[in-house]
Amino acid sequence: MTTTQETNSRTLVGLRSDVRIDERDGVLRLLSRVGSFALRGVAPEVAQALRDLVTTPQPDIGDRLPAPQARQLRQITERAKQLFVRYVEVDGRVLARIEATSRDGAYHPAVIEPDARLRLSKFALLRTLDNELVLESPLVKHRFTLVDPAAAAVVARLGGECGPADLATLLPVNAAEELAGHLVGAGFVEQGQSDGFPSDTEAVLRQWDFHDLLTHSRARSGRFDQPFGGIFPYLGDIEPRPAVKPMPDGPAIELYRPELDDVLATDPSLTAVIEARSSVRQYGEQPLTAKQLGEWLYRTARVRAVYGPTPNAPYEASTRPYPCGGASYELELYLTVQRCDGVEPGIYYYDPVGHRLVLVNNGVQDRQALLQTASVATALQADPDVLVTMTSRFQRLSWKYRAIAYSVSLKHAGVLYQTMYLVATAMGLAPCGLGSGDSDLAARAFGLDYLTESSVGDFILGSRPVLPADAPPRPLPESWKPVNDVEWAVSAHSLLRERHWASS
């Protein structure tokens, strides 16, 4: 059935429901959760028009005002556009409400031709927000609230390619076109071109995964109007997670604690370590030792002290060798040991306070599954002595940060990778970070609840193959095209090789 009858379909403009108008000392302030504007010299007719717009959206705002006042009102709507809302209405019934989610959100509704081919962008997402169905997209600086089920039906139909006539089976034809004009103009819906829809054909858009772009758009401010940053959203409501994770049950192995003087006496310089650092996926005939593992963990991830709460940080924090946003230290380490002199194969939790390994799983299958996944990440080049899996106790961060908590945890994983690389290089071990891992497998094997704590990074470690003392220096790989002082890396590599990696 095509609903061809013409209806009274139109777009109204109003102010967001949370806007308050405050007039004092000749300044009119528009106050809202998403931003506030102080306006001077507002004509009385314009001030009245703004007050009316809080309660009564208008089709053509300013049309009933004399030209100068209409111009002033238009300037205000332009400047404070994030505070204005559009309503798509048919026969007095609101179909959709459209709000800007950014200060610079602006679009013109598109004109939809009868032969247009339409489809939702692959970046569009439907979800419930404040008890309403909303359409959002990381490409669009607006939120489209589907107030009426008929509008939701139109969006559902646009999940597959269709034309205005298909939409007219769901709504009167001009209402469908009005709604589609907004969806296309804002960027939720694409118009098909001769070669397909832009998100399927444009090289830049094709190379964005939906979830990556969504995370990117929400992990930085700019195009998003929801609570953001270090605002302690659950203070007084939910207890923060402790700085130190309660110890899992299991037999524990005390680890070696290095002496600072010994480390300082033998460590290569910072520059030698940075320049000689590389990913090593082959291992020595002799395995890593418990002493080396103890030293490496001590220098990388131990808790040096716990402190807090403090007036600025109303939660318990700690200090460790690597930096961490808010000193939250949400990352935990689990070691899947395959070959380590002095530590039985098994899956262990690293206790960063007691500096111990606590056995959490001695099942062969889980161990092998984790090691196999790590090896696959290296295209089967590595069969590591030890796999170190970093898990995140997510709520340590989300108790403080809104919107950015997950991305901050990934940044922490990166910081820890580099610390692990550098300490391993200084110690003459074989380090390699991994970019993929199986969080479900890890949660199962470590006995964790996926939403409370699961893996965000993996790192493999082993003994380094020992070179004969008279082995020639490593030549530059033939494929390298030197650009800036590659000799630094080559000489640092030779230095560490002579001092640490070669047999004497």
Ligand X SMILES: Cc1cc2nc3c(=O)[nH]c(=O)nc-3n(C[C@H](O)[C@H](O)[C@H](O)COP(=O)(O)O)c2cc1C
Contact residues: ligand X, CB under 6 A: 278-279, 281, 377-378, 417, 432-436
Q: What DSSP character marks residue 376?
A: H
Rounded to whole angstroms, the Cα distance separating 345 from 352 reads: 20
| Residue 424 · residue 296 · CB < 8 Å | yes
Closer residue to ligand X, CB minimum distance, 21 or 441: 441
Closer residue to ligand X, CB minimum distance, 7 or 378: 378
Shortest separation between residue 200's beta carbon and ligand X, angstroms:
28
Among residues 276, 294, 302, 450, the alpha carbon closest in space to that of 386 is found at 294
Shortest separation between residue 205's beta carbon and ligand X, angstroms:
25
Closer residue to ligand X, CB minimum distance, 89 or 458: 458
Shortest separation between residue 338's beta carbon and ligand X, angstroms:
17
Shortest separation between residue 488's beta carbon and ligand X, angstroms:
13
Q: Which tokens go with 130?
A: 């404040």
Closer residue to ligand X, CB minimum distance, 215 or 378: 378
Rounded to whole angstroms, the Cα distance separating 296 from 337 reads: 14
Q: Which tokens go with 142?
A: 């607006």
Shortest separation between residue 194's beta carbon and ligand X, angstroms:
40
Q: Which tokens go with 65?
A: 């005002």
Assign 409 to helix, strand or coil: helix
Rounded to whole angstroms, the Cα distance separating 106 from 141 reads: 8
Among residues 187, 163, 341, the alpha carbon closest in space to that of 253 is found at 341
Shortest separation between residue 460's beta carbon and ligand X, angstroms:
9
According to DSSP, the β-strands at 346-351 and 252-254 are unpaired
Rounded to whole angstroms, the Cα distance separating 97 from 491 reads: 64
Residue 341, judged by CB atoms within 10 A of its CB (0-12, 13-18, 19+), counts as middle
Closer residue to ligand X, CB minimum distance, 279 or 494: 279
Assign 172 to helix, strand or coil: coil
Closer residue to ligand X, CB minimum distance, 395 or 463: 463
Shortest separation between residue 372's beta carbon and ligand X, angstroms:
14
Closer residue to ligand X, CB minimum distance, 17 or 436: 436
Shortest separation between residue 421's beta carbon and ligand X, angstroms:
7
Shortest separation between residue 335's beta carbon and ligand X, angstroms:
18
Closer residue to ligand X, CB minimum distance, 3 or 215: 215
Rounded to whole angstroms, the Cα distance separating 39 from 29 reads: 6
Give the helix/strand (H/E) hosting 338. none
Alpha carbon 176 to its chain centroid, in Å, reads 36
The single residue listed with the structure tokens 């003392």 is 469
Q: Which tokens go with 327?
A: 């000193």
Give the helix/strand (H/E) hosting 52. helix 44-55
Closer residue to ligand X, CB minimum distance, 417 or 501: 417
Closer residue to ligand X, CB minimum distance, 149 or 323: 323
Give 249-318 as a 3 state SS string: CCCEEECCCCCHHHHHHHCCCHHHHHHHCCCCCCCCCCCEEHHHHHHHHHHHHCCCEEECCCCCCCCCEE
Shortest separation between residue 434's beta carbon and ligand X, angstroms:
4
